[in-house]
Every structure is written in C-alpha cells, then in structure tokens.
C-alpha cells in the first residue's frame, strides 16, 4: 500500500489538519482590521487538495461561507488550471455566483507549490466591512448597485501585489484601510496554514497530499451514506413563508427525496426571484442545504468534499433560491438562513429521534453609517483623521445579533444564539469604542421564547442612540417580523421581531437605509425560537424556574403552560428571589386538566 494512503497516516493527517486550520483562522482573526472579522467571526477557512476539493475546514465560521467556498473552488480551479498558476500567486473574487452569494463576501485563494508542483490550496472567505455601492440592504434592483464586483483574478504574484487593483478597491469603498487590511490578513493566514501543512508533510515523508485527502473524503462520504440509509425511503415536503421585502412575502418550498444512500433536495414551488436584494444564488442554496442534511443526520462526520457527494440540491432557475445574474443579492442571508429549518420541517417524519423546531433563523445585521461628530465627539483616532480630511470623518459599522434557536427534542432552544450561522455579536464596548453609537439597552427579551415541553430560546432587546451630533443612518437587515418561528409537535411559535423608533413606537422600514435625527433612539426586538412539544408537558418546576429567572412572565406561565405562579414578595422589589414565588398546585391541576 502507498504510505500516503496508510490508514494510520490518514488518521494522523486528518487530526492535524484540524489544528492547522484553527491556526489559519487564529492568524486571520488576530491580524484582521475590521470588527466584522476580528470580533464577529464572519469568516471561513479551509484547505483543498491540488484539484480544489475541500479536505477540511476550521472549527468556526459560517456554512454560507465555507460550503459556498467549497463549491466556488470548482470555478477557481476551472478558471486557473495548473499551467496558469505559479508559486506566489494569490487569487481574489467576490462574484456572488462564484462563491458566497453577495459581493460583501471576499474569497482569497492561494495555491501552494513544492518543488514546482501544486500540492494544495488554502482559502478563506470574509465579510468585508464595506464594498461600496448602497449601504448593505435589500433596496437595490440589480447587483450592479450593490458595490464593487471583483472577477476571479490574481491579487498578487511572485513579483508583488497588483497595485492597480488595490487602488481600485480602496477608491470604491467607505472603509479602505479596514477592507484592504482584512484582505491582507486573509493572504497572510493562507500562508500560515501552508507553512504548517508543509511541516506536516515533511514529518510524514509525504510528497503530495491528494491520496491522503481522497481517503479522508471517502471516509466522510461512507459515514454520511450509512446514516442516510437508515432513513425510510420516500418524499418529504414542507413550505414556509418569510417576510421578503416591502410587504411582499416569499414562499419557500422544498421536497426531500430519500433514496437508499442518497438524498435529493428540490426547491421547486418557491417564489420567483424578487425585484429586491433578498435573492439567493444556487451556490448559497447548496451551502445551507448540505449543512442542514449534515446537521440533521450526522453532525459528527468531518466536513469535506465527501460529505457533499450524497446530497444533490436543485432550485428552479430564476427562483428566489436560484436567482440569475444580475439579480440583486446583498441581503441573501435573510432567505438562505431559513433553509435548514425548512429542511428539518420536511425531514421530521423521517427522523425518529427528532429535529429542532424553527429558529429565529435569519441573522440580524444592522449597518450603521454617519459622521463621527460635528462637535468633535467620538474616538480620538477617528476625530484626528476626520480633521485631516480622511474618510474616517464618517463611520461605517456592521453589527450582528441573534434571536433564539428552536426548542430541541430533549432540550430547550439556545438563547440569543445564531442558527444556522456561526457569526457572533461584538461586545458593546467594542462598538462604542469604534463609533459614536451608544447601546442604551442590551438584555434578554421576556416571553419571546416559543412555549413548549422544550421551549425555544429567547430573543434579545437592544436600544441604540448616538453621542454628539451629526447625521447618521441604519440599515436593519432583519426578518421574522411578519412570520414568527413556528413551533413543532404541539409547540407554540416564538415571538415575532420588531424594528421601531423607541420614542414613538412606530415601525421603521426594514432592509432599507433609514436616516435618523440627532436624538433618535432605535429599538430592535429580536424574535424567539419556536417551542417543541405540548407546553402543558413541561415540568412545573421548570416553568417556575423560568418565571423566577425572568424568562417567562406569570401571565404567560398561566396562559401557555397551564402553571399558576403567584408572586408573594414586595411589589417594589427590584431583585425578586425564588422564595418570593409559589405554585398554586390546585389551580395548576385545573388548568392542565388533571
């Protein structure tokens, strides 16, 4: 047997690759300029064999980036065959139909050579803090309005960087230093990954890694096929309505066909592509679909090219899940993030151990833009650069937040935890240090979790104003305002979200740029996850604990869970402890029909 395919060597290399990829990601995060990458981890890192097939990914990151980048490497390898590449080349693109589905996501791919032979690729995909065009929203009618679109090309060669391309990028974005700084960090992190891979190859005497990579992929493929084979063959369908744009909702429909060791997912019946930027390219649809299947059936299987092979994904050309160029796509995650919950809903009858209820799903993304301050209030560095006539006279900040995930078959949903994305929320202190924004409130939202035997996760509530005076605006890319997360198997829906003027209570336009006054106060109420199972089956002591913790109100405990909780402490008590509450056992028995 070729030593490179020795099963022991394969196992050792597979385990080491996880560490190498985490090292690549750590280098990227540590050297990135923007809080989008440095704090929120809106990124993905991966290693590929010489043919561009994904061998492994870093532990963090988002399925929309990593899985779309895996498919995107097919385009990259086809566009640049080995004969057109040389040591020192670095490739770049943000073409939505080639990689991650929106032009704010920039992919940097680096081929690495040993003794003149291409042995592997390292790549990363990061959400750029800005890419020009409209502030990221769903308002555009064509992709051309959404910013600078970079075709697949060489960012660098052995001779150095393409200075013309770098200047073009700097000139077209609002955050030139942050945008280019993140790109440099991506280039450097690929080099970090390759350096450790070469050390691994030397340690095991490997001249190439393709044969080891092939076995790693085959193992994942076999494991996933074995799990699929345990399901009952059949066709399973589901549909879900989501907010869409401007009052025009969208229908997402899916049919999952289980046939032996493979699964086909077809989104026929979904709405036609929208006039606005909530469309999803097929690459991104495939990314979240393959993630959904793996999460539902075999989350422990290593993620690589092999785990893609048993899953086939199709969507009608020209549909909202298979849009065609030049459709606007900037807010594509506000549709794409619903696909795992939709697939779970369809597959629930086929998975006896159960699948979670629907989550808040769509990651809430707010993009804040404005003057640092007309009165000199703001960060010292920003004010200094503003006085020098720099673009830093304006701030542009992308902030993320999550609602609750759905109740699970044996556990509650997770509170303020993104699903299906892995993007994190930046700390309040970071946001307030970098901009004049002030978060007046950031706390859990009571009664937002969908009631159930296992309740959904809670959403959060945030209020934001600005310090000083100066024009400012926000684009709230949010969803589940019109259609809250439904429950499963008797569970109730989570609370719907809202985006309002906190001073008047009036709703503000969603997925569009909203210009604010100096004294404006913006309120965001994040949606909760759906409940799982009949709420009356939730143990009384757990309901009481939720009431004491402030997650569930006394009224909701009675109305939804059939548990009569009495508060017996002082009416003006700010801190309310467990001994101030009691359950009326007789009334609870009556409410629950016992």
Residue that wins the pLDDT comparison between 330 and 594: 330
Token pair 């073009």 is found at: 168
Q: What number of other Cβ atoms are within 10 A of residue 165's Cβ? A: 15
Residue-wise pLDDT for 80-119, tens only, equals 999 999 999 999 999 999 999 999 999 999 999 999 999 9
Looking at the DSSP bridge assignments, the partners of residue 265 are 256, 313
Domain ranges of the chain: 3-220, 223-350, 364-535, 539-594
Sorted by sequence, the CB contacts under 8 Å of residue 21 that are 6+ apart come out as: 45, 46, 47, 56, 57, 58, 59, 193
Q: Among candidates 369, 376, 436, 359, which has minimal Cα distance to 398?
A: 369
Q: Note if the pTM is more than 0.85.
A: yes
Q: Is the pLDDT of residue 2 over 50?
A: no
Q: Among candidates 565, 562, 137, 530, which has minimal Cα distance to 358?
A: 530
The dihedral formed by the CA atoms of 155, 161, 164 and 170, expressed in degrees to the nearest 10: 80
Looking at the DSSP bridge assignments, the partners of residue 57 are 46
56 near 76, Cβ under 8 Å? no
Rounded Cα distance, 348 and 293, in Å: 12
Token pair 């077809």 is found at: 266
Q: Is the pLDDT of residue 215 over 70?
A: yes
Residue-wise pLDDT for 396-435, tens only, equals 999 999 999 999 999 999 999 989 998 999 999 999 999 9
Residue-wise pLDDT for 33-90, tens only, equals 999 999 999 999 999 999 999 999 998 778 999 999 999 999 999 999 999 999 999 9
pLDDT the model gives residue 393: 83
pLDDT the model gives residue 375: 52
Angle separating helix axes 540-549 and 554-561, nearest 10 degrees? 150
Rounded Cα distance, 232 and 576, in Å: 51
Provide, rounded to the nearest whole percent, the portion of the chain with pLDDT above 70.
Answer: 96
pLDDT tier, 328 (very low <50, low <70, confident <90, very high otherwise) = very high
What value does the mean pLDDT take over residues 206-229? 96
DSSP string of 5-21?
A: G-HHHHHHHHHHHHHHH
pLDDT the model gives residue 385: 44
Q: Which of 102-106, 170-174, 371-375, 563-567 has the lowest mean pLDDT?
A: 371-375
What value does the mean pLDDT take over residues 242-265? 97
Q: Is the pLDDT of residue 221 over 60?
A: yes
What value does the mean pLDDT take over residues 22-27? 97
Rounded Cα distance, 116 and 49, in Å: 15
Q: Among candidates 94, 77, 108, which has minimal Cα distance to 151?
A: 94
3-state secondary structure 53-112: CEEEECCCCCHHHHHHHHHHHHHHHHHCCHHHCCCCCEEEECCCCCCCCCCCEEEEEEEE
Token pair 């895996």 is found at: 70
Identify each DSSP E strand in 171-328 by its residue range: 234-245, 248-259, 262-266, 311-314
What value does the mean pLDDT take over residues 331-358? 97
Q: Among candidates 440, 460, 438, which has minimal Cα distance to 448?
A: 460
pLDDT tier, 386 (very low <50, low <70, confident <90, very high otherwise) = very low
pLDDT tier, 504 (very low <50, low <70, confident <90, very high otherwise) = very high
What value does the mean pLDDT take over residues 212-222? 96
pLDDT tier, 383 (very low <50, low <70, confident <90, very high otherwise) = very low
Which sign, positive or negative, has the C-alpha torsion 528, 531, 535, 538? Answer: negative
Identify each DSSP E strand in 408-558 by its residue range: 437-444, 460-466, 472-477, 498-501, 513-516, 522-525
**What's the whole-number average pLDDT of the chain?**
94
What value does the mean pLDDT take over residues 341-366? 96
End-to-end CA distance of the chain: 68
Rounded Cα distance, 313 and 250, in Å: 20
CB-facing half-sphere around the CA of 151: CA atoms within 13 A: 3
pLDDT the model gives residue 59: 83
Rounded Cα distance, 124 and 25, in Å: 9
Alpha-helical (H) ranges within 119-161 are: none
Q: Is the pLDDT of residue 382 over 60?
A: no
pLDDT the model gives residue 341: 98
* Three-state DSSP class for residue 251: strand
Q: Among candidates 265, 272, 422, which has minimal Cα distance to 335?
A: 272
Residues making up the chain, counted from first to last:
594
Sorted by sequence, the CB contacts under 8 Å of residue 514 that are 6+ apart come out as: 473, 474, 475, 476, 508
Q: Among candidates 522, 459, 455, which has minimal Cα distance to 496?
A: 459
pLDDT the model gives residue 61: 79
Q: Is the pLDDT of residue 3 over 90?
A: no
Q: Is the pLDDT of residue 310 over 60?
A: yes
pLDDT the model gives residue 5: 66
């Amino acid at each position: 047997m070729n030593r490179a395919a020795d099963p022991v060597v394969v196992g050792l290399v597979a385990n080491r690759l996880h560490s190498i990829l985490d090292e690549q990601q750590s280098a990227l995060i540590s050297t990135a300029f923007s809080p989008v990458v440095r704090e929120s981890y809106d990124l993905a890192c991966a290693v590929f064999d010489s043919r561009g097939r994904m061998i492994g990914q870093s532990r963090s990151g988002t399925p929309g980036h990593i899985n779309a980048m895996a498919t995107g490497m097919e385009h990259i390898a086809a566009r640049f065959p080995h004969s057109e590449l040389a040591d020192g080349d670095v490739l770049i693109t943000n073409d939505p139909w080639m990689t991650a589905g929106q032009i704010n996501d920039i992919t940097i791919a680096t081929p690495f050579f040993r003794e003149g032979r291409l042995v592997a690729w390292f790549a990363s995909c990061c959400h750029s803090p800005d890419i020009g065009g409209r502030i990221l929203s769903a308002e555009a009618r064509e992709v051309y309005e959404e910013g600078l679109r970079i075709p697949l090309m060489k960012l660098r060669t052995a001779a150095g960087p393409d200075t013309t391309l770098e200047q073009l990028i700097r000139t077209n974005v609002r955050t030139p230093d942050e945008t280019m700084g993140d790109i440099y960090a991506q280039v450097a992190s690929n080099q970090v990954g390759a350096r450790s891979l070469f050390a691994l190859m030397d340690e095991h005497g490997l001249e190439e890694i393709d044969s080891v990579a092939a076995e790693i992929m085959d193992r994942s493929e076999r494991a996933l096929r074995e799990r699929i084979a345990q399901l009952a063959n059949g066709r399973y369908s589901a549909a879900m309505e989501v907010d869409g744009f401007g009052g025009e909702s969208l229908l997402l429909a899916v049919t999952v066909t289980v046939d032996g060791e493979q699964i086909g997912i077809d989104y026929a019946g979904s709405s036609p592509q929208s006039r606005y930027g909530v469309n999803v390219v097929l690459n991104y649809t495939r990314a979240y679909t393959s993630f959904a299947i793996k999460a539902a059936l075999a989350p422990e299987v290593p993620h690589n090219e092999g785990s893609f092979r048993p899953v086939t994904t199709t969507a009608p050309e020209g549909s909202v899940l298979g849009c065609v160029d030049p459709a606007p796509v900037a807010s594509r995650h506000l549709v794409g993030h619903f696909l795992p919950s939709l697939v779970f809903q369809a597959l629930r009858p086929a998975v006896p151990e159960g699948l979670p209820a629907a989550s808040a799903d769509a990651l809430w993304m707010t993009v804040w833009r404005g003057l640092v301050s007309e009165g000199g209030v703001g960060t010292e560095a920003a004010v200094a650069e503003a006085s020098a006539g720099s673009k830093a006279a304006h701030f542009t900040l992308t902030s993320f937040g999550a609602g609750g995930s759905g109740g699970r078959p044996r556990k509650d949903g997770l509170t303020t935890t993104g699903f299906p994305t892995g993007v994190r929320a930046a700390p309040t202190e970071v946001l307030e240090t970098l901009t004049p924004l002030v978060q007046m409130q950031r706390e859990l939202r009571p009664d937002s979790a969908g009631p159930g035997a296992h309740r959904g996760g809670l959403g959060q509530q945030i209020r934001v104003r600005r310090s000083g005076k100066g024009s400012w605006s926000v684009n709230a890319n949010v969803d589940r305002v019109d259609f809250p997360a439904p429950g499963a198997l008797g569970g109730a829906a989570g609370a719907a979200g809202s985006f309002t003027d906190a001073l008047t209570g009036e709703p503000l336009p969603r997925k569009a740029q909203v210009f604010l006054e100096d004294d404006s106060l913006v309120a965001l109420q994040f949606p909760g996850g759906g409940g799982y199972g009949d709420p009356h089956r939730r143990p009384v002591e757990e309901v009481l604990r939720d009431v004491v913790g402030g997650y569930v109100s006394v009224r909701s405990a009675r109305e939804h869970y059939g548990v009569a909780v009495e508060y017996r402490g002082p009416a003006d008590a700010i801190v309310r402890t467990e001994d101030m509450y009691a359950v009326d056992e007789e009334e609870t028995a009556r409410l629950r029909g016992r």
